[in-house]
Homo-oligomer: A and B are copies of this chain.
Amino acid sequence: MKLSDCYKIVRKRTESICSPLQTEDYVVQPVADVSPPKWHLGHTTWFFETFILRPYFMGYKEYDPQYNYVFNSYYETVGNRVIRTDRGNLSRPTVIDIYRYREYMDEAMDKFLCQEPSAEVRELLILGFNHEEQHQELLYTDIKYILGHNPLFPAYSKDYVSQKVAEHADGKFIKLKEGIYEIGFAGDGFCFDNELGRHKVYLNAFEISSDLVTNQEYLAFINDGGYQDFRHWHAEGWDWVNKNHIVSPLYWHAIDANWHNYTYNGLQPLNLKDPLCHISYFEASAYAAWRGLRLPTEFEWEAAANLLKWGRRWEWTESAYLPYPGFVKAAGAIGEYNGKFMVNQQVLRGASEVTSPGHSRITYRNFFQTHLQWQFTGIRLAK
């Protein structure tokens, strides 16, 4: 496909995710980790302006110099910015202003892409597409948070159907042998810098579940007093449970003694067969301990991935987010993409039902802080 067509498809998809929203839904930021949808719309646009048009498109006229301050996310290289927790305090630029900004950029990009870009620009463009696709997933999760924390529990869309993945029903553990496995990206397609550096890893023999843990299985943990028994938890996790009065996954509500959860269709009775969702690493690890099992490492996961059905939940692993051998940060702002987060975070593998197409590959490394529940996270057990 032509790059200009790829560009249009990616950009269109972002806007289509937002189409069911009311203007007000674009504005709010209920917690620091969630960004207002209008910020995502502006930030992904700013990315193309800042890293492609301004440096590479001769004669390009910056849309508004103040937008750099408003839409820069975390790139210290590119200058000052609105602090993250203040994104929800900005009523301007308005949603319409930002859609105009997108339109302006899309027209400029269209002109720019008339000519075949250099290899260097091509690489940045593909990074830009992947960047916007990552924000598409964040849009889904942030919209869910915004609507799911409103006391009126409005549906995102009555027609939303969660993307099903054919699932094992046999609950088997798959065995892999001891030995050397190759880990990391190989091939010609796009990958992030944190997947590079394909290298050998020595794994002991292990077993990994073909299925994800279901709501029903996790309910057994809750009903057994799992959230009240320190023995299953990391010390830091136990503090987190008690300080935040955590008693269930995010979006779960006990109404008249029946568990419900908030979904894109509104508040619904809990579907027991569904794979568990919206749990922190602390909860994933505590559940595994309660079962007498453990989470897989990211290496075990990657080694076994072709034998597993996956794709509905990002799966917490036992691995901390660290550089692969030979990892080098790129120079300049692009180098701030991944490397500077490689501390005190845990790796997730797989993909979720709201992951953008093309972000599902077995070498993909997602990562979050250990207390976060707002992603579509789940549990796969190992032993």
Residues of A within 8 A of B (CB): 22-30, 38, 66, 69-70, 74, 76-77, 82, 86, 88-95, 146-147, 149-152, 154, 180, 199-202, 204, 206, 230-231, 233-238, 281-282, 285, 289, 294, 318-320, 322-323, 325-326, 329, 335, 340-344, 346, 370
Contacts and interface: CB of A to CB of B under 8 A. Distances in A.
Contacts of A335: 231
Q: Tell me the dominant secondary structure on chain A's binding face.
A: mixed
A62 B322 CA distance: 48
Contact of A322 (B24, B90, B319): B319
12 contacts: A26-B91, A74-B235, A76-B231, A88-B89, A92-B150, A206-B325, A234-B343, A235-B341, A238-B340, A282-B343, A318-B323, A320-B320
> In the assembly, how many copies of this chain are there?
4
A27 B91 contact: yes
B370 A343 contact: yes
Contacts of A329: 289
A236 B339 CA distance: 11
Nearest to A320: B320
Given A22-B92, A199-B202, A344-B344, 20 more contacts: A23-B94, A24-B94, A25-B91, A27-B27, A30-B86, A82-B151, A88-B88, A92-B150, A92-B152, A93-B152, A199-B204, A231-B335, A233-B340, A234-B342, A235-B340, A236-B343, A236-B344, A281-B343, A289-B329, A343-B346
Contact of A91 (B91, B146, B206, B234): B146
B90 A28 contact: yes
A206 B29 CA distance: 46
Contacts of A70: 151-152
Contacts of A25: 91-92
A152 to B, nearest CB: 5
A335 B230 CA distance: 12
Given A322-B320, A323-B318, A92 B24 contact: yes
B28 A149 contact: no
A204 B326 contact: yes
A14 to B, nearest CB: 19
B201 A202 contact: yes
Nearest to A294: B323
A29 to B, nearest CB: 7
A201 to B, nearest CB: 6
Given A70-B151, A230-B76, A319-B322, A237 B27 contact: no
